[in-house]
Amino acid sequence: MKKRLLFCFITVVLLCATLTISALADDTVKLGIGIVDATGLRLRAAPDTNAEVINSAYQDDVVVVLADYGEWYQVIYNLDVGYMYKEYVIFKAVENADLGEATVNCPLVNLRAKPDSGAEQLTQLEEGETVHIIGLNNGWYKVDYITVYGWTTGYIRSDLLDLTEVPPYNTDYSYQQSIAQELVNYSMNFLGVPYIWGGETPNGFDCSGFTQYVFEAYGYDLDRVAQDQMYNNGTEVSKSDLMVGDLVFFGGTYVSNETVTHVGIYIGNGQFIHAASGGVKITNLSHDYYAARYVGARRII
Check whether residue 153 and residue 246 sit in a common domain: no
Does some domain include residue 10? no
In terms of residues, how long is the chain?
301
Does some domain include residue 1? no
- The pLDDT assigned to 76 comes to 97
Check whether residue 220 and residue 267 sit in a common domain: yes
Check whether residue 71 and residue 139 sit in a common domain: yes
Per-residue pLDDT reduced to its tens digit, 35-64: 999 877 889 999 998 898 888 898 899 999
Indicate the residue among 111, 144, 163 that finishes a domain: 163
Tell me which residue range forms the domain holding 155.
26-163
Check whether residue 151 and residue 271 sit in a common domain: no
Does some domain include residue 33? yes
| Domain of residue 236, CATH code | 3.90.1720.10
| Domain of residue 90, CATH code | 2.30.30.40
Check whether residue 114 and residue 179 sit in a common domain: no
Rounded to 10 deg, the angle between the 207-216 and 173-187 helix axes is 130
Does some domain include residue 53? yes
Indicate the residue among 163, 192, 221 that finishes a domain: 163
Mean pLDDT of the 106-131 span: 96
Higher-pLDDT residue of 78, 17? 78
Indicate the residue among 163, 189, 213 that finishes a domain: 163
Does some domain include residue 6? no
- The pLDDT assigned to 56 comes to 86
Check whether residue 281 and residue 215 sit in a common domain: yes
Does some domain include residue 13? no
**Which span out of 5-9, 158-162, 236-240 was modeled with the highest average pLDDT?**
158-162
- The pLDDT assigned to 150 comes to 81
Check whether residue 35 and residue 92 sit in a common domain: yes
Per-residue pLDDT reduced to its tens digit, 179-232: 999 999 999 999 999 999 999 999 999 999 999 999 999 999 999 999 999 999
Question: Which residues, including other chains, have CB under 8 Å from residue 212's CB and lie 6 or more apart?
Answer: 200, 222, 223, 224, 229
pLDDT at 122 over 70: yes
Check whether residue 281 and residue 200 sit in a common domain: yes
Check whether residue 105 and residue 215 sit in a common domain: no
Check whether residue 42 and residue 143 sit in a common domain: yes
Check whether residue 125 and residue 74 sit in a common domain: yes
CB 248 within 8 Å of CB 273: no
Question: Which residues, including other chains, have CB under 8 Å from residue 42's CB and lie 6 or more apart?
Answer: 53, 55, 56, 57, 84, 85, 241
Does some domain include residue 14? no
Nearest to 59 by CA among 247, 244, 234: 234
pLDDT at 296 over 70: yes
Check whether residue 133 and residue 182 sit in a common domain: no
CB 86 within 8 Å of CB 73: yes
- Domain total for the chain? 2
Query: What is the per-residue burial (b if ≥16 Cβ within 10 Å, else e) of 35-61?
Result: bbebbbbbbbeebeeeeeeebbbbbeb
The catalytic site residues sit at 207, 262, 274
Query: What is the per-residue burial (b if ≥16 Cβ within 10 Å, else e) of 223-242?
Result: eebbbebbeebbbebeeebb
Mean pLDDT of the 149-153 span: 87
Helices marked H in 29-112:
none
Does some domain include residue 231? yes
